[in-house]
A and B are shown apart, each in its own frame.
Chain A
Amino acid sequence: MMLAMLLIVPIAGGLLAWLAGRFSPLAVRIVSLLVLLLDLAIALPLLHGTSNIAMPGNWMAGFNAPWIPAFGMNFRLGMDGVSWLLAVLTILIGIFAIIVSWDEIDDGVGFFHANLLWSLAGAIGVFVALDMFLFFYFWELMLVPMYFIIAIWGHENRRRAAIKFFLFTQGSGLLILLSILALAFLHQQQTGVLTFNYFELIQTHTFGTFGFLVMLGLFIAFIVKLASFPVHAWLPETHTEAPTAGSVILASILLKTGAYGLLRFVIPLVPMAAHSLAPVALWLGVGSILYGAFLAYGQSDLKKLIAYTSISHMGFVLIGVFVFNNIAWQGVVLLLVAHGISTGALFIIVGSVQHRLHTRNLAQMGGMWTDLPRLSSFGTFFILASMGLPGLGNFVGEFLILRGAWSVAPLITVIAAIGLIPAALYSLIAIQRAFHGPVDEERDTHDFGTRETAMMLVLAAAIIYLGVYPQPVLNIAAPSLNNMQPQPATAMLKETRAG
C-alpha cells in the first residue's frame, strides 16, 4: 500500500498545486515541496522493509490490485534496491527542481508544478511497475507533462525541441507497446494464459526470430531514452531548450529510465536475444562515449556541452549493462545515481549562469571566478566530478563498469577508457573558458545566495560520499541485481548453450 501511496501522493499533489495556483505562486511552491517531502518520507522507510506480497527474488515492498482483468493486467508494483535508489533519486532531484524554479518560473506557476509532479510520478511509476502494461502506462505518462514543461516554459526554440522530444519518445514508446503485446501473446500461446505479469512473462521461452524482434523493439526504445548513439538526436536540443528544472529532470531522471528498462526488462525477459545483441550494444556504447565526448568538445553553448557529455556517460552505462556481470551492473547503478546528481547540479549551475549573464555562450563568459566565486567553484567541482575525477562518485561507477567489462570484452574496455581523454579535454576547456580568463563586460555579480549554496553543498556532499564510501549504496543495489538474473533466464541461457 505504501508503494501505491508513493505514486498517489505526487499525482494528487500535482492537482493540489494546480489549484493552489489560483491563490498565490508561493502557495504552489510550498505545496509542491511538501508533497515531495511527504513522498520522501514514504520512500525512505521502505529501505528496511520486506515485501508482504510473495514475489520471486528480493523485494522491499510490493503491491497488487486488479486493473484490467480482461487482459490479465494488474496494478502490480514492487520495489527492490535499484528501484529504491532511483525512486529516492527522483524525489530528491524533484525537490531541487522545485527550488531552482523558485525564481525562474513566474508564469503559470500552478500548472508548471503540476506538470513537474506528474512527470516525477510517472518516473517513479516506471521504477516500481512490475506489470508490463502498467510499466508502459507510466512510461507514457511521464512524457506529456515533460512535453508541456519544455513547450511552455522553455527557451527560444522550445517548440521544435518539444516536438522532437515527443516524437522520438512516443515513437519508441509504440515499439515498446508492440513488443510487450507480442511477448504477452507468445506467453499465451505457450501457456494458454493471457497476462502482463512480469514474473509470469519471465517464464516465456523467447527463442528465435520472434524473441529477437521482441527484444529489438524494447532495446531500441530504451536506448532512445538513454540517448545512445545513433538515436540520441533528440537529447541535445531538448536539454538545451528546456527550462532549468526540465533539464535537470530530463538528465537526472528520464535518461535513467532507459537504463533501468534495459536492466529490468530486456535482460531478464529476453535473455537469449539480449546476449546475441550484446556485441552490437557494446559498440554502440563505445560509439556514444567517443561521439558524445567529441561533440561536447566542439560546443560553444555551455548547456549543450553538458547535454553531449550525458550522451558520453550513458555510453558507459550501455556497456555496463551488456557485459552481463555483477561488477559492471553495480557500476551501472552507481553511475546512474552519481550522474543524476552531478549532471543535475551542472544544469542548475548553467541555469543560474544564464539567469545572471543572459547567455549560455561560452565565448561571452570567462572570468566568472572573480565575479561569482561560489558559483564558479561549484561549477568546477561538478565538471570535474562528471569527468570522472577519482574520489568522486562518477569515477567509482565508471571504474566498476570498466573493471567488469575487462574480463568480457577487453578491446571495448580499452577504447571506452580512451574516451576518458576527450572527457578531460572538454571538461578542462569548459572550466577554462567559463570561469577563468579576463572579464570582458559588466555583469550581474550577484553570487549564489544561501538557498543555492545550500543546495549545492548537499549535492556535493552526496557526490563525495558516493566517491569515497560507495559500499552502502552497493549493498542496497546488490540483492536486487540478482533479480535481474532470474532463474528462468539463466535456465534458458543454459538450455540454448547446451543445445
Chain B
Amino acid sequence: MNLQGAAPLVILTILAGGLPGVVAIKRCYGLISAVAGLGLVVALLSIPYALQAPVPALPAMFTLNALSLGFIGLILVSGLLILILAAGYWQAQTPLRREEYPLLFVAGILGAAVLAAAANFMMLFIGLETMTLAMIGMIAYPHFRPGAEEAGMKYLVLSGMSSSFVLFGIGLIELSSGSLNITQIIAATPADAASREMLIAGLAMIAIGTGFKLSVVPFHIWVPDVYAGAPAPTGAYVAVIAKLGVLAVLIRVINLPGVSLPAGVMTLITVIAILSMLAGNLLALMQDNLKRILGYSSIAHLGYLLVAMLAAGTIGQVAVVFYIVAYAITMIGAFGVIAVLSRSSDARDIDKISELRGLFWTRPALAAVMTLFLLSLAGIPPALGFIAKMYIMAAGVHTQLWGLLAVMVVSGVIGLFYYLNIILMMSMKPHTEEPLPGVLAISIPNRLAIAMVSLPILAFGVAPSPLIALLKLMFN
C-alpha cells in the first residue's frame, strides 16, 4: 500500500493520536502547543511530496489531487495561524487546564482535512463529525464563562441536527444508487423515477447540512450567538477551518466532469446568495459586538462566494478559491486582534465595539492592522479583500450575472457602514489615558501571528500575482 499521496493525513493522524501521549508525559502547555504546531508544519511540508505520488493513495476513501491537497494546505496554514493565536490567548492564570485545547484543535484539523479529501460519503461524514465534535469542545472550553457554555450547547444541538440531516441524506443516496462514492452516485443511480427522486431528496438533505455548516441564509441563526460566545481563537476556527473543509467538498463536486447544475438548483443558489449577502450585512448594522459583526459578515461573505460559484469557467473557480483565501486570512486576523486584546481569565473577551475606542491613540500599530483587516473585509484597497472582490466581480461579469452583481454592490455599500463604524470608534479619543486591558501584555507569539496575517493581506493586496499563480495550480 502506497501512502505517499496521503502523507499529510497520515502525519495528522499520528499527531492527533500522539498528542495525548505528550500530555501524559509532561503537562506543559507550551510544549504541547509547540509539538502541535510542529506537526502541522510537517504536514504542510509533506504536501509537495504527496502531490508527486505515483499512484493514488487509498482511492476508495480519499480523492487526493491538487485541488483537495491545496485545500488541506489552506486548512493547515490557517490552523497554524490560529494555533499561534491560541498559544498566546490561554494565559497561565486562566482557571482551567489549558493543555487539552491543542488536542481538540488538532483533532478538528484532522477532521477538516479528511472532509476536504473525502471520496465517499462515509469518510465525508466521519470527517465532518470529527471536526464538529472537536469544535464543540473548543467553543465551550472556558467552562467558567456562561456565554461559552451556552454557545457550545447551541452549537451541539444545531450541528447535531444538521449532521443527522446529512446522515439521513447519505442513507437515501445509498438506497437509490447502491454506492457511497461521491463521484459515482449520479452515474450509478438507476434511471427510474423513484430512485431519482430518492437521490434528489438525499442530496437536498445533504445540502441542508452543508447550509448549516456554511451558515448561509436561512441556516444562519446559530452564527451570532456561537461566534460571540466562543473564545476568540475558537471563533476564528469556526469561521475559517469549518468552512474550508465544507467548501473543499463543494468545489470538488462542482468541478466533477459532467456535472452541470440544473436550472432549478441554480435559481435556489442564487436566492440563497442574495439573501445571505443582504441579510448578513443588514443584520450586522445593528450590532455592537465585534464577534457578532464578524459572524454576520461571514454570512455575507459566503453569499459573495456563492456568486463566484455560480460563475462557470476557470476564472470562476480561481475566484472562489482566491476569495476563500482572502476571507480566511482576514477573519483570522480580525479574531486575532480580539484575542490579543482579551484575557482568557476574564468572563468574556474584549469584543464590544465601544471597548475598541481610542485604539489608534493607545496602540496605533494594532489599530492600523485592524483597519487593514476591516478594509479587507469591506473590499477596499490596498487590502487583499479588494482583489478578491474584484475577482468575484470579474467572474460575475464574465458570466453576465448582472442581478447578483447589483445586489453585491448594494450590500457592499451597506456593509461599509459597520466596518467604518468600527474604524471610527478606534479613531476616537479614548475616555481616559489608561490603555486598554491586556494592551501592555501582547506576547511575542501574538505579535508574530498578527504580523504573519497582516503581511500577506497587504502584500497580496498590492501584488496578487504570486497568489493567483499558486492557486491556479490547484486547477491544472
Nearest to A174 among chain B residues (CB) is: B409
Partner pick for B394 among A108, A144, A181, CB 8 A cutoff: A181
Please determine whether A182 and B397 come into contact, CB atoms closer than 8 angstroms. Answer: yes
Q: At the interface, yes or no: B222 with Cβ under 8 Å from chain A?
A: no
Q: Using Cβ atoms and an 8 Å threshold, which residues of chain B touch A162?
A: 420, 424
Partner pick for B380 among A133, A140, A152, CB 8 A cutoff: A140
Interface residues of B in 416-441 (CB under 8 A from A): 416-417, 420-421, 423-424, 427, 429
Nearest to A66 among chain B residues (CB) is: B465
Given A152-B360, A182-B397, A166-B463 contact (CB < 8 Å): no
Please determine whether B427 and A170 come into contact, CB atoms closer than 8 angstroms. Answer: no
Q: At the interface, yes or no: A207 with Cβ under 8 Å from chain B?
A: no
Q: At the interface, yes or no: A297 with Cβ under 8 Å from chain B?
A: no
Q: Using Cβ atoms and an 8 Å threshold, which residues of chain A touch B352?
A: none
Please determine whether A148 and B465 come into contact, CB atoms closer than 8 angstroms. Answer: no
Q: Would you give 20 A-B contacts (Cβ < 8 Å), ordered by A?
A: A68-B463, A68-B464, A68-B468, A70-B472, A107-B429, A111-B360, A133-B390, A140-B386, A144-B375, A151-B423, A151-B424, A162-B424, A163-B421, A167-B413, A167-B417, A174-B413, A177-B390, A178-B393, A178-B405, A182-B397
Q: Would you call the interface of chain A mostly helix, strand, loop, or mixed?
A: helix
Please determine whether A170 and B416 come into contact, CB atoms closer than 8 angstroms. Answer: yes
Q: At the interface, yes or no: A71 with Cβ under 8 Å from chain B?
A: yes
The 0/1 profile, CB within 8 Å of B marked 1, for residues 58-80 of chain A is 00000000111111000000000
Shortest CB-to-CB span from B300 to chain A, Å, is: 15
Shortest CB-to-CB span from A70 to chain B, Å, is: 5
Given A67-B463, A170-B413, A148-B398 contact (CB < 8 Å): no
Please determine whether A167 and B397 come into contact, CB atoms closer than 8 angstroms. Answer: no
Partner pick for B409 among A108, A140, A171, CB 8 A cutoff: A171
Shortest CB-to-CB span from A154 to chain B, Å, is: 10
Interface residues of B in 456-471 (CB under 8 A from A): 463-465, 468-469
Count of chain A to chain B residue pairs whose CB atoms are closer than 8 Å in the complex: 76
Q: Using Cβ atoms and an 8 Å threshold, which residues of chain B touch A167?
A: 413, 416-417
Q: At the interface, yes or no: B17 with Cβ under 8 Å from chain A?
A: no
Please determine whether B382 and A141 come into contact, CB atoms closer than 8 angstroms. Answer: yes
Please determine whether A148 and B427 come into contact, CB atoms closer than 8 angstroms. Answer: yes
Q: At the interface, yes or no: A185 with Cβ under 8 Å from chain B?
A: yes
Given A144-B375, A148-B427, A178-B393, A70-B380 contact (CB < 8 Å): no
Shortest CB-to-CB span from A160 to chain B, Å, is: 10
- The bracket for how many chain B residues form the interface is 20 to 34
Shortest CB-to-CB span from B359 to chain A, Å, is: 12
Q: Using Cβ atoms and an 8 Å threshold, which residues of chain B touch A67?
A: 463, 465
Nearest to A168 among chain B residues (CB) is: B413
Q: Using Cβ atoms and an 8 Å threshold, which residues of chain B touch A152?
A: 360, 427
How many residues on the A side are at the interface (Cβ–Cβ under 8 A)?
33
Shortest CB-to-CB span from A440 to chain B, Å, is: 33
Q: Cα distance A141–B429 when bound, in Å?
A: 25
Q: Using Cβ atoms and an 8 Å threshold, which residues of chain A touch B394?
A: 71, 181, 185
Q: Using Cβ atoms and an 8 Å threshold, which residues of chain A touch B416?
A: 166-167, 170
Please determine whether B424 and A108 come into contact, CB atoms closer than 8 angstroms. Answer: no
The 0/1 profile, CB within 8 Å of B marked 1, for residues 77-97 of chain A is 000000000000000000000
Q: Using Cβ atoms and an 8 Å threshold, which residues of chain B touch A144?
A: 375, 380
Q: Using Cβ atoms and an 8 Å threshold, which residues of chain A touch B427?
A: 148, 151-152
Q: Using Cβ atoms and an 8 Å threshold, which residues of chain B touch A70?
A: 318, 465, 468-469, 472
Please name 5 further chain A to chain B contacts, defined as beta carbons within 8 Å, in addition to the given A70-B465, A163-B424, sorted by A numbering. A107-B361, A111-B364, A167-B417, A174-B413, A178-B405
The 0/1 profile, CB within 8 Å of A marked 1, for residues 379-413 of chain B is 01110001100100110011000000100010011
Q: Which of A66, A159, A166 has the most CB of B within 10 A?
A: A166
Given A166-B420, A178-B393, A141-B381 contact (CB < 8 Å): yes
Q: Which of B318, B382, B417 has the most CB of A within 10 A?
A: B382
Nearest to B469 among chain A residues (CB) is: A70
A interface residues (Cβ-Cβ under 8 A, vs B): 66-71, 107-108, 111, 133, 137, 140-141, 143-144, 147-148, 151-152, 159, 162-163, 166-167, 170-171, 174-175, 177-178, 181-182, 185
Nearest to B408 among chain A residues (CB) is: A174
Q: Using Cβ atoms and an 8 Å threshold, which residues of chain B touch A174?
A: 409, 412-413
B interface residues (Cβ-Cβ under 8 A, vs A): 318, 360-361, 364, 375, 380-382, 386-387, 390, 393-394, 397-398, 405, 409, 412-413, 416-417, 420-421, 423-424, 427, 429, 463-465, 468-469, 472
Q: Cα distance A133–B393 when bound, in Å?
A: 13
Please determine whether A181 and B468 come into contact, CB atoms closer than 8 angstroms. Answer: no
Q: Cα distance A141–B416 when bound, in Å?
A: 15
Please determine whether B465 and A178 come into contact, CB atoms closer than 8 angstroms. Answer: no
Q: Using Cβ atoms and an 8 Å threshold, which residues of chain A touch B468?
A: 68, 70
Q: Cα distance A166–B380 when bound, in Å?
A: 11
Please determine whether B397 and A68 come into contact, CB atoms closer than 8 angstroms. Answer: no
Please determine whether B397 and A181 come into contact, CB atoms closer than 8 angstroms. Answer: yes
Shortest CB-to-CB span from B226 to chain A, Å, is: 30
Q: Cα distance A155–B285 when bound, in Å?
A: 25
Q: Cα distance A189–B472 when bound, in Å?
A: 23
Please determine whether A185 and B398 come into contact, CB atoms closer than 8 angstroms. Answer: yes
Please determine whether A178 and B380 come into contact, CB atoms closer than 8 angstroms. Answer: no
Please determine whether A69 and B465 come into contact, CB atoms closer than 8 angstroms. Answer: yes
Q: Using Cβ atoms and an 8 Å threshold, which residues of chain B touch A178?
A: 393, 397, 405, 409
Q: Using Cβ atoms and an 8 Å threshold, which residues of chain B touch A166?
A: 416, 420
Shortest CB-to-CB span from B159 to chain A, Å, is: 36
Please determine whether A68 and B424 come into contact, CB atoms closer than 8 angstroms. Answer: no
Q: Using Cβ atoms and an 8 Å threshold, which residues of chain A touch B420?
A: 147, 162-163, 166
Q: Using Cβ atoms and an 8 Å threshold, which residues of chain A touch B429?
A: 107
Shortest CB-to-CB span from B169 to chain A, Å, is: 37
Q: Which of B393, B397, B429, B464 has the most CB of A within 10 A?
A: B397
Shortest CB-to-CB span from B340 to chain A, Å, is: 20
Shortest CB-to-CB span from B388 to chain A, Å, is: 12
Q: Which of A170, A171, A177 has the most CB of B within 10 A?
A: A177
Shortest CB-to-CB span from B374 to chain A, Å, is: 10
Q: Using Cβ atoms and an 8 Å threshold, which residues of chain B touch A140?
A: 380-381, 386
Q: Using Cβ atoms and an 8 Å threshold, which residues of chain A touch B423?
A: 151
Please determine whether B380 and A170 come into contact, CB atoms closer than 8 angstroms. Answer: yes
Q: Cα distance A422–B429 when bound, in Å?
A: 42
Partner pick for B381 among A137, A147, A171, A175, CB 8 A cutoff: A137
Given A67-B463, A70-B469, A178-B409, A108-B361 contact (CB < 8 Å): yes
Q: Using Cβ atoms and an 8 Å threshold, which residues of chain A touch B360?
A: 108, 111, 152
